Structure 1
Amino acid sequence: MVVTCRVLNSLLVAVALLLVANAPEARAADAVAVGWDSAPDILAAIEEPTFPDNDFVITDDAYEGGAEPGGETDCLPAIKAAIKACNAAGGGRVVIPAGEWFVKGPIHLLSNVNLHAEAGAKVQFSNEPNDFLPPVLTRFEGTEVYTYSPPLYALDQENIAITGGGVFDGGADDDHWWTWKRERGDINKLREQAESNVAPEKRVFGEGNTLRVNFVQPYRCHKVLLEGYTLNRSPMWCQNPVLCTSVTVRGVTVESHGPNNDGCNPEACDGVLIEDCVFDTGDDCIAIKSGRNADGRRIGTPSKNIVVRNCTMRDGHGGVVLGSEMSGGIENVFVEDCYMSSPNLERAIRLKSNSMRGGYLRNMHVRNVEVGEVSDAVFRINLVYDQPETGPHVPHVSNVTLENVTSKKSKRALHLVGLPDAPITGLTLRNCTFAGAKQPSLIEHVEDLSLENFSMPK
C-alpha cells in the first residue's frame, strides 16, 4: 500500500498503524536485518595502525637540506624525502613542527608512515592546480578518473596515518578551485565516459581541466588513522577514504565552507569509525557513498559497517547522510551520541538517491542524538533527489531506525519521499520528540512505518 499524506502528529500515528498492518513481504533487495547488537563486533574488527617509535623531522638536513618555516619556501621536497626515509626504515612519524609551512603540490603517504603535524603547525598548500599534476587515480563525485592529485593522498598503502593538532589549509577560495563549481564541461565529459564504459585508465584529465580535487583521500588502503588535525578551505570534499578497510577518523575538526565541502565521505569502505569530530561545512557533514551510476555498479563495492559517535555537526546540508552517489549500496550504519544544531544546518539525518543511481540503503540505526535546530527536516529521505528524469535502477531503502532522537526547531519533522515502484520500507521512530516544526510532515510512498512513543509538540 502506498500512502501520500500531509499530517500532524495525531494523524501521523494513525497512518503509521495502517501502514504496518499492510506491510508487504521483504523485497529481494533486502538482506538480513542488522541491529545495534552488531555494532560491538564491527568496532572490534576495525584495526588501527601502529608505528615504530621513530621520528623523521622535516627540518633535518638529511631531507633535501631540511624544510624552512615561514610559509614562503616550498617544503614539499623535504616532506617527500622524510616520508621515503620513514618508509624505508620500517615506519614511524614524519613530524611537521609548529610553524608555517608552504607545500607546492601533493603529499603522498607510504605504508607505515604517520604524517604528524604538531599543534601550532600550519601546512599551507598551493592553490595552483598544475602543482597537483601529474594525474593520479582518484574519484570525482563517485566516478573514477585520472586527474589532479588530492593534496593529502595515498594509493594502495597499508598502516598509514595523518595525526597531530596542526592545521592543513587547502588554499581554496572564490578565485581558486571553488570557481570551478560553475564549470560543467569536464564533469559532463567524465560522466559520459563512465556511462559509455570507457576504461578508467583512459579517463585522463590533465592540465587545464576543471575537476576539483578532494582534500584527504586514502585510496584502496588498509588500516588508516585520521586524527586530531584541523582542515580549512578544501577544494571539494574534505576527507574521502575510497575502497579502504579499517578506517578511523577521530578528533578531527573541519571548518571549510566552500561548495561541496563535505566533512567526511567514506566511499565503498568496509569498517569505519568516525568519532569525537566537529564538522562546520559548506555541504554535508558526513556523507556515506559507494560510487555513482554505471561506475558505482561496475565496481560494485558497498560502504558498510560504519559507526559514527560523539560528533558535533554545525553548518552543513545534512548531519549524517547516506548518498547520493550510492550505486554500490550502503549498509550497516550506526550513529549515536551526536549533537547537531545550526540555523545553517539543513537536516539532521538524510538519505538521498534516485532511479538513475540504483543500489540500496539498509540497516541504518540512529540513537541518542540531540538536534537543536535545522532549517529543513529533522529526518529526510528523498528517492527523487536531483533527478530530472527517471531511470531503471530504482533504489531500495529498508530497516532504518531512530531512537531517542530529539529536536527543538525545524521546518518539518519528517520529509519521506519514496518511489511508486520502490516505496520506503521498515522505518521505526521510537522515543523521539521533534518539537517546533513549522510545517506538517510530508510522507509519500512509504510502507511499514512504525511510530512508538513519537511526538511533535508545537
Structure 2
Amino acid sequence: MKNSNLTIWFTSSRAFNIQLKVSCVLLFLCCLYSCGQQESLDFSKEWLLKDEIVASITEPSFPDRIYSIIDWGAIGDGRTMNTNAFMRAIQKCAEEGGGKVLVPSGKYLTAPIHLESNVNLYLEKGAEILFSKDHGDYPLVNTSYEGTELINFSPLIYAKGKSNIAITGEGVLNGQAGIENWWPWCGKDTYGWKKGQPKQHSSLEKLKNHMSVKGVPVDERVFGEGEYLRPTFIEPFECENVLIRGVTIINAPFWSIHPFRSNNVIVDGVTISSHGPNNDGCNPEYSKNVLIKNCTFNTGDDCIAIKSGRNEDGRRVNIKSENIVIQNCKMIDGHGGVVMGSEISAGVKNVFVENCEMNSPNLDRAIRIKSNTKRGGFVENVFVRNLKVGQVREAVLKINLFYGIYGAQKGDYMPEVKNIVLENVQAENGGKYGILIQGYDEKPIERVVLKDVIIQKADSSYSMKGITHVNFINTFINGQLMNNSINN
C-alpha cells in the first residue's frame, strides 16, 4: 500500500464486513436498551467481531536470509559505536529483498536504528542494544510528541513509510535513559532535574499552544537540540505490517512503543520495564488493526494508552484509532492498565481487552478513559472481559472527561463516550472507588454495563455524574449486589 493511501484502510471486503457488523451490533445493543431488556444483554456477538479483527491481522514474513551485524564490523563490547554496522546490514538486507538482520550475543552501542521494508531486526538471547547518550547522534525526523507532530530527535528505532518490518528475539533494547540522561528534561526533581537546569516546558508551550493552534506546517515545527523534547523508543510511522515480538525494553526516554498512523501491527510477548517520566508501554495512535498480546508492562505511566492526536493536531489529521485487541497481558506499575486518551481528538473505536491481569499498589486504575472539552474526541465500543485485578490505587473503571494536567483544559469540543462494557471482572482491592465516572450533563456518557463484576475493598462503591445510565448485571461491590440499573 502506498503511503498516500494510508488513511484508506477499509477498502477490502473483509474490513468492510467488520465495519458493517460493528454497526449492526450497535443497533442491536441500542434496541435492547430502548426496549428495557438490559438484564438479558449478551455480548457474544461483539466478541465474534474481535475474532474477525484478529483473523484479519497477519504477521509479516521474511526471506530465509541472515545478515549478521558482525559481518559489517560490529563489536559487542558496550563501548564501540556500531551505527554504521547496523545501517549497512539493514541496507544490504533490504537491497537483496529482505531477511533477518542478526544481533548476536553482546552489548552493541549505537545511534538510532532506522528500519527498511522487509527487514526483521533479530536480537539473540544475550544481545543488548545500547542507545547512545550523546544527543548529537540523533538526527531530526518527522515524529510526534504527546499527540502533536513535529520535527524532533529520531526515535531510537524508527521506520517511516515502510512495510513488512519486525523487531524480534530474546534480547534487550536499552535506551540508557535515567536521572542523568533524557529524564531530567521533564522538569521534575524526582527524575534528576535540578533548579536552573533546562526543561521542556517552554518548548511544549510553543509546540502545542502556538504552532498547533495556528496550523503551522509540520515541516516548520523544527525542534531538537536546545528544545528538550525527548524521543520515543520504537516508532513505526505510517507503516504497514509491523511485528514486535519477544524483546525486553528498558530505560526508555519517553513512550516505549508508539505505532503512529500504522496499520496491521502485532506486539507479542514484549516485556517493558521502565519507570521514567511519560514511560508509557504501548501507545497506538491514529492506528488500525492492532493486536497486543502476551506482554508484561511495568511502567512509569500508562501501560497501554490508545490515542488519536491532541486538540487541533488531532482534528487536522482526523484519523481515529480503531480495532485494537489486547489479550493475555500483565500490568504491574502504571497510571492505568488499559487507557484511552487523553490525546484523543480524532476518536477511538472498537477496543477489546480480555484475559489480562493487573496488580500493583502503584497501578492507579485498571480501565481508564480521559479527555476534556479542549481535546474533545470520542470513545466508542470498549469491551472488557475476564479481567483479574489484584490491587489498584484509585478505581477499577475510571472515566474522566474533565482531565487536565497542563493548566486550563477547557474548550468547545465536548467529548463523547458510549458503549463501555465490563464482563467477568474480579478485583480484590478496588482502591478509592470501585467505579469513578465524571462526565458532562450537557453530553452525558451513554451505555455503561457491568456484568458479573466483583469488586472488593473499595473505599466507596462508586461516584458518578454526567452519565445517563449504568446497567449492573450480577455485580457486587464490597459484597453488596448493585441495583440492576442506576440513572444519574
TM-score between both structures, scaled by the size of structure 2 = 0.85
Instruction: Measure, in 2, the Cα distance between the counterparts of 1:71 and 1:50.
Output: 31
Query: What is the aligned partner in structure 2 of residue 168 from structure 1?
Result: 173
What residue identity is the alignment partner of 2:130? Answer: Q
What residue identity is the alignment partner of 1:230? Answer: T
CA change 1:389–1:263 in 2 (3 A) is: closer
What residue identity is the alignment partner of 1:142? Answer: G
Written as runs of structure 1 = structure 2, the 5 A alignment for 1:198-277 is 198-277=216-295
Q: Is the 8 A contact 1:128 1:176 kept in 2?
A: no
Matched position secondary structure for 1:318 = coil
Aligned with residue 186 of structure 1, among 169, 182, 203: 203
Matched position secondary structure for 1:110 = coil
Q: Identify unmatched segments of 5+ residues in structure 1.
A: 1-19, 25-33
Aligned residues: 425
Written as runs of structure 1 = structure 2, the 5 A alignment for 1:49-64 is 49-60=60-71
What residue identity is the alignment partner of 1:39? Answer: K
Query: What is the aligned partner in structure 2 of residue 79 from structure 1?
Result: 86
Q: CA deviation at 1:22?
A: 10
Q: CA deviation at 1:390?
A: 2.0
CA change 1:38–1:22 in 2 (3 A) is: closer
Matched position secondary structure for 2:70 = coil
Q: CA deviation at 1:358?
A: 1.2
Q: CA deviation at 1:440?
A: 3.9
Matched position secondary structure for 2:421 = strand
Instruction: Measure, in 2, the Cα distance between the counterparts of 1:392 and 1:165.
Output: 48
Cα deviations by residue, 1:64-116 (Å, 9 ceiling, x for unpaired): x510111010011101000000000100000000111111x110000000000
Q: CA deviation at 1:171?
A: 0.7
Q: CA deviation at 1:389?
A: 4.1
Q: Is the 8 A contact 1:345 1:374 kept in 2?
A: yes
Matched, 1:137 2:137: no
Instruction: Measure, in 1, the Cα distance between the counterparts of 2:64 and 2:154.
Output: 30
Q: Is the 8 A contact 1:401 1:428 kept in 2?
A: yes
Instruction: Measure, in 1, the Cα distance between the counterparts of 2:466 and 2:34.
Output: 12
Q: Equivalent pairs: percent with the same residue? A: 45
Q: CA deviation at 1:47?
A: 2.0
Instruction: Measure, in 1, the Cα distance between the counterparts of 2:265 and 2:62.
Output: 16
Residue range with higher mean Cα deviation, 322-331 or 379-388: 379-388
Q: Is the 8 A contact 2:372 2:409 kept in 1?
A: no
Matched position secondary structure for 1:375 = coil
Query: What is the aligned partner in structure 2 of residue 398 from structure 1?
Result: 418
Written as runs of structure 1 = structure 2, the 5 A alignment for 1:26-65 is 35-60=46-71, 65=72
RCO higher in structure (CA 8 A, sep ≥6)? 1
Q: Is the 8 A contact 1:23 1:447 kept in 2?
A: no
Query: What is the aligned partner in structure 1 of residue 441 from structure 2?
Result: 420
Q: Identify unmatched segments of 5+ residues in structure 2.
A: 1-30, 36-44, 188-199, 480-488
Instruction: Measure, in 2, the Cα distance between the counterparts of 1:372 and 1:275.
Output: 20
Q: Is the 8 A contact 1:23 1:448 kept in 2?
A: no
What residue identity is the alignment partner of 1:303? Answer: S
What residue identity is the alignment partner of 2:65? Answer: N
Q: Runs of 4 or more off by more than 4 Å in structure 1?
A: 20-24
CA RMSD of aligned residues (A): 1.7
Query: What is the aligned partner in structure 2 of residue 109 from structure 1?
Result: 115
Query: What is the aligned partner in structure 2 of residue 455 from structure 1?
Result: 476
Matched position secondary structure for 1:386 = coil
Instruction: Measure, in 1, the Cα distance between the counterparts of 2:390 and 2:181.
Output: 34
Instruction: Measure, in 1, the Cα distance between the counterparts of 2:321 and 2:125.
Output: 33
What residue identity is the alignment partner of 1:202? Answer: E
Q: Is the 8 A contact 1:22 1:448 kept in 2?
A: no
CA change 1:421–1:438 in 2 (3 A) is: same
Q: Is the 8 A contact 1:35 1:363 kept in 2?
A: no
Aligned with residue 102 of structure 2, among 92, 95, 105: 95
What residue identity is the alignment partner of 2:135? Answer: P
Instruction: Measure, in 2, the Cα distance between the counterparts of 1:316 and 1:224.
Output: 25
Residue range with higher mean Cα deviation, 419-428 or 156-165: 419-428
Instruction: Measure, in 2, the Cα distance between the counterparts of 1:329 and 1:384.
Output: 16
Q: CA deviation at 1:38?
A: 0.8
Matched position secondary structure for 1:81 = helix
